[in-house]
Chains A and B, each alone.
Chain A
Amino acid sequence: AQKVTQAQTEISVVEKEDVTLDCVYETRDTTYYLFWYKQPPSGELVFLIRRNSFDEQNEISGRYSWNFQKSTSSFNFTITASQVVDSAVYFCALSEALGTSYDKVIFGPGTSLSVIP
């Protein structure tokens, strides 16, 4: 069965601290995609990153970085020097093959991040 687990329900950090959001996934597919989305208080989910199962290179984008490890089925997200604007709910998601068009996106339960000034 396909599943995404985000064990951290809520995290609070003080501004400028680094924070890592954990994501563990389960899938029987050998080809799949992983995503992170951000949902700020306004409610609209915003895409952050997509990674396919053949690309285990870590990625850095400004203060954001992602660590993909197939051996542990994890796709963790780190925010460096957190800011108040980072306060949001963050969702990890998995897209598995449905036929050949990767239609089904399964979301984890989300981690609510609060950055305290």
Chain B
Amino acid sequence: EADIYQTPRYLVIGTGKKITLECSQTMGHDKMYWYQQDPGMELHLIHYSYGVNSTEKGDLSSESTVSRIRTEHFPLTLESARPSHTSQYLCASSVHSPGANVLTFGAGSRLTVL
């Protein structure tokens, strides 16, 4: 059973609405990530965090923003959703230690903007 939870799993909203995708993990991981997965399956890193009060932009430019006020919580917000934001958003976390870390993923949030 996953220790990283994403809500909502599915969301259909109209253009211009503000939305927040929630991501929480119970593993005490310092590092957290948001990936955007387009219909062609490819995953793109859009945000990551090393710990509380740390946020960085990933490789793919995104109009979304993130915050990291608590270790376990890494929400993603879109202030004004557009159809181009329609995608699957995957949250992940990993421990903070030297060496490459295995990512633990949530089940994803599938967003559709009409």
Binding site for B on A (CB under 8 A): 32-33, 35, 37, 39, 42-47, 50, 52, 89, 91, 95, 100-107, 109-110, 112
Chain A residues within 8 Å of B33, by CB: 105
A95 pairs with B90, CB closer than 8 A: no
Q: A-B contact count, CB below 8 Å?
A: 64
Q: How many B residues touch A, CB cutoff 8 Å?
A: 29
A105 pairs with B98, CB closer than 8 A: no
Known A43-B107, A44-B2, A45-B90; judge A102-B42 contact (CB<8 A). Answer: no
Binding site for A on B (CB under 8 A): 2, 31, 33, 35, 40-43, 45, 48, 50, 59, 88, 90, 92, 96-108, 110
Least distance between A62 CB and chain B CB atoms (Å): 19
State in angstroms the CA–CA spacing of A110 and B90 once bound together: 15
